[in-house]
């Protein structure tokens, strides 16, 4: 069973002959968990391999566990902070985030470079969970219409006009 979070991921995997059995209407781990349990794609007593970021939000794992589903998490990548001595956040019109951990790393980078914090910085976030974190870090947040990179690009195009 292939349960995919985003439509574009499903399309990309189709090129390799992997068909998505379930793509939720809303793009979040929580939405995927609800879709998985409500559709019967996974049931009590079954196991799920969750391949994702090391810093992935716990909502999906917690929701599945609450339904008696065993979750094995396989971290495929991690968010790592890059040292940038000449970095200045004020040089940019927008900063973009696709994860809360990315927003945390960025804020830490701003502090480390002693370039001021993230207070009032215009940030475009892929979804509400990421936006919540960016707001907590003091950023002036906008959220893409859909939780996709394509939607973020469209937002930035419109903002530039």
Task: Return the higher-pLDDT residue of 3 and 159.
Answer: 159
Spatial contact of 107 and 128, defined as CB atoms under 8 Å apart: no
What does the pLDDT look like over 18-71, one tens digit per residue?
888 787 777 778 888 888 899 888 899 999 988 888 888 888 999 999 999 999
What's the chain's average pLDDT? 85
Angle at 33 between CA 129 and CA 57, to 5 degrees: 35
Is the confidence at residue 116, as pLDDT, over 80?
Answer: no
Mapping DSSP to helix (H, G, I), strand (E, B) and coil, where does residue 152 land?
A: helix
What are the two backbone dihedrals, phi and then psi, of residue 64, each rounded to the nearest 5 degrees? Answer: -65, -45
Confidence of residue 139 (pLDDT cuts 50, 70, 90): very high
Q: What is the CA radius of gyration of the chain?
A: 18
Q: Which two tokens stand for residue 108?
A: 């830490």
Confidence of residue 112 (pLDDT cuts 50, 70, 90): low
pTM score of the predicted model: 0.69
Is the confidence at residue 114, as pLDDT, over 60?
Answer: no
């Amino acid at each position: 069973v292939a349960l995919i979070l985003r439509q574009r991921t499903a399309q990309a995997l189709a090129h390799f002959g992997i068909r998505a059995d379930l793509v939720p209407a809303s793009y979040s781990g929580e939405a995927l968990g609800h879709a998985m349990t409500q559709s019967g794609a996974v049931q009590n007593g079954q196991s799920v391999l969750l391949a994702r970021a090391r810093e992935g939000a716990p909502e999906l794992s917690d929701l599945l566990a609450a339904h008696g589903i065993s979750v094995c998490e396989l971290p495929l990548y991690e968010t790592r902070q890059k040292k940038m001595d000449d970095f200045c956040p004020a040089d940019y019109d927008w900063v973009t985030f696709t994860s809360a951990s990315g927003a945390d790393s960025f804020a830490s980078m701003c502090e480390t470079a002693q370039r001021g914090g993230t207070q009032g910085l215009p940030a475009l976030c892929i979804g509400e969970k990421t936006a919540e974190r960016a707001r907590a870090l003091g950023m002036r947040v906008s959220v893409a219409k859909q939780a996709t990179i394509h939607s973020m690009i469209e937002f930035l195009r419109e903002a530039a006009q």
